[in-house]
Every structure is written in C-alpha cells, then in structure tokens.
C-alpha cells in the first residue's frame, strides 16, 4: 500500500512542525509538503497533488475554507481536513459547504488526527464529536425532515454511541436502531452520519 501523501498548511511554525513530527511517525503517512499561507500553499499543491490537505482555519491571507474552495476547483481529488482551535459556527458550516471532508480541533489527541486522515483518505468523513453535536443541534432548530425517533437516533450517533448503546438508551432492539439509521441515510440521500449533516445544511435545514 502506498503511503498517504499529506500536505500541511499552518502559519504557526511550532504547531506546523509539531503536526509534521506526529505524522512522520506513522508508516502509512508521508508528509510531502508544508506552507504557512494560502497563497504559498496553492502553488505547491498544484505541483505535489497530495492525497490529504490539513488546513489551519485562520491563515494570514485567507480563511481555511476559502483555500479549501480554491483547491477543490483545480484538484477535486484532494481530500481536506480543517484543523482549528476555534468552534466558530460560521466557519464550520462554510467549510462543510465547500466540500471539506474533515474538521478537527487542535486540542484533539494525536490519535484522532491520525484516524481523521485515514478515514478521510478511505472516502469517509470525519467530524470532531463536539463539532458534530453543534451541527446536529442546528438540524433540530428547523422543522425536521426526519421523524422524532430518527432525530433521537441521529442525536445519539452524533454523541458517538454505537447501535447497541442506542438500543439500550431508547429501549428498542438493535435491529430497529439499524432500521432507523438506514431510513435517516435514505431520506438524506447519503451513506454516513457526516454526509447526512452536510446534506441537511445544503437543503436549508441548518441555518448558519
């Protein structure tokens, strides 16, 4: 298996080098480049074509989601993970809107960053638990597309509960929980939790 090519965009050198050193300890990951600004990153990314792009949200010349939008236009196959120290709702939803596949906080464990990279590379999406809960909270502010029970299941999924745990919380069978999850994904036209949250935003069920 070829290593996952990762490019880091972070204006704080200490943070950038720290992330780089963590990733370089993983045999499955190859840090192929780094930049301290959006402008510098664009030119390098065009030449390197990384698999995963890790972006700081607040760069000196632009927002992380603005850089993500640029990259998606000329290199859509590159997956993007926003890494930030802030839980700003506008930034979160702007990032999801332009197609960012991952969103993680800088104070997350190193293991979460590694997991985010591997999951995003494999075609999944990754949201830090606190971010997922915030997004789901916005879903509940609007008239739901989902039934009350489906919203309960979705809330538990956002909190990281597994099917067996959700069944215990709701006093229903695991089979029924799985049925609700299938219905949620079908109604949203998605295949996983994060995509469901993103789709809810696109359809106007989540307000920024």
Instruction: Identify the CATH class of 131-202.
Output: mainly alpha
Does residue 7 have a pLDDT over 70?
A: yes
- Would you state the pLDDT for residue 206? 47
Indicate the pTM of the whole model: 0.65
* Least confident range of 45-49, 143-147, 194-198: 143-147
Choice between 75 and 153, residue whose per-residue pLDDT is larger: 75
Q: Predicted confidence band at 116 (pLDDT cuts at 50, 70, 90)? A: very high
Find the length of the chain. 208
Maximum average pLDDT range among 112-126, 134-148, 158-172:
112-126
Q: Which residues, including other chains, have CB under 8 Å from residue 177's CB and lie 6 or more apart?
A: 153, 163, 166, 167, 170
Mean of pLDDT values over 159-183:
89
Q: Lowest-confidence range among 73-87, 94-108, 133-147, 149-163?
A: 133-147
Mean pLDDT score, 1-29? 94
Region 154-181 average pLDDT: 87
- List b or e across 124-154, with b for residues whose CB sees 16 or more CB atoms inside 10 angstroms: bbbbbeebbebbbebbeeeeebbeeebbbbb
pLDDT band per the 50, 70, 90 thresholds, residue 181: confident
Please report, rounded to a whole number, the percentage of residues in the chain having pLDDT higher than 70: 89
Tell the CATH topology of 4-127.
Rossmann fold (3.40.50)
Q: Pinpoint the residues of the chain covered by CATH 1.10.10.10.
A: 131-202
CB 28 within 8 A of CB 51: no
* Torsional sign, CA 147, 180, 116, 2: negative
In this prediction, residues 147-174 reach a mean pLDDT of 84
144 has pLDDT over 60 = no
Average of per-residue pLDDT values in the chain: 86
Q: Is the pLDDT of residue 78 over 90?
A: yes
Q: Would you call 41 helix, strand, or coil by DSSP?
A: helix
Q: Mention every residue, 6+ apart, whose C-beta is less than 8 A from residue 57.
A: 63, 64, 65, 82, 83, 84, 86, 88, 91, 95
Q: Where in the chain is the domain with CATH 3.40.50.2300?
A: 4-127
3-state secondary structure 72-123: HHHCCCCEEEEEECCCCHHHHHHHHHCCCCEEEECCCCHHHHHHHHHHHHCC
């Amino acid at each position: 298996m070829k290593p996952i090519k990762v490019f880091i965009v972070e204006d704080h050198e200490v943070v950038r080098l720290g992330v780089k050193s963590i990733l370089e300890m993983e045999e499955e990951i190859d840090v192929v480049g780094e930049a301290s600004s959006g402008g510098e990153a664009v030119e390098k990314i065009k030449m390197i074509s990384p698999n995963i792009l890790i972006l700081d949200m607040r760069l000196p010349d632009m927002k992380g989601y603005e850089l993500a939008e640029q990259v998606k236009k000329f290199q859509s196959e590159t997956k993007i993970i926003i890494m930030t120290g802030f839980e700003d709702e506008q930034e979160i939803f702007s990032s999801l809107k332009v197609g960012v596949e991952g969103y993680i906080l800088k104070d997350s464990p190193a293991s979460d960053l590694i997991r985010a990279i591997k999951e995003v590379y494999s075609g999944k999406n990754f949201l830090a638990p606190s971010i997922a809960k915030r997004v789901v909270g916005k879903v509940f502010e609007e008239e739901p597309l989902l039934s009350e029970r489906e919203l309960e299941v979705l809330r538990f999924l956002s909190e990281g509960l597994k099917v067996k745990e959700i069944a215990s919380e709701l006093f229903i069978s695991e089979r029924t929980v799985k049925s609700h999850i299938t219905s949620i994904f079908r109604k949203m036209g998605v295949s996983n939790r994060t995509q469901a949250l993103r789709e809810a935003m696109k359809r106007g069920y989540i307000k920024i």
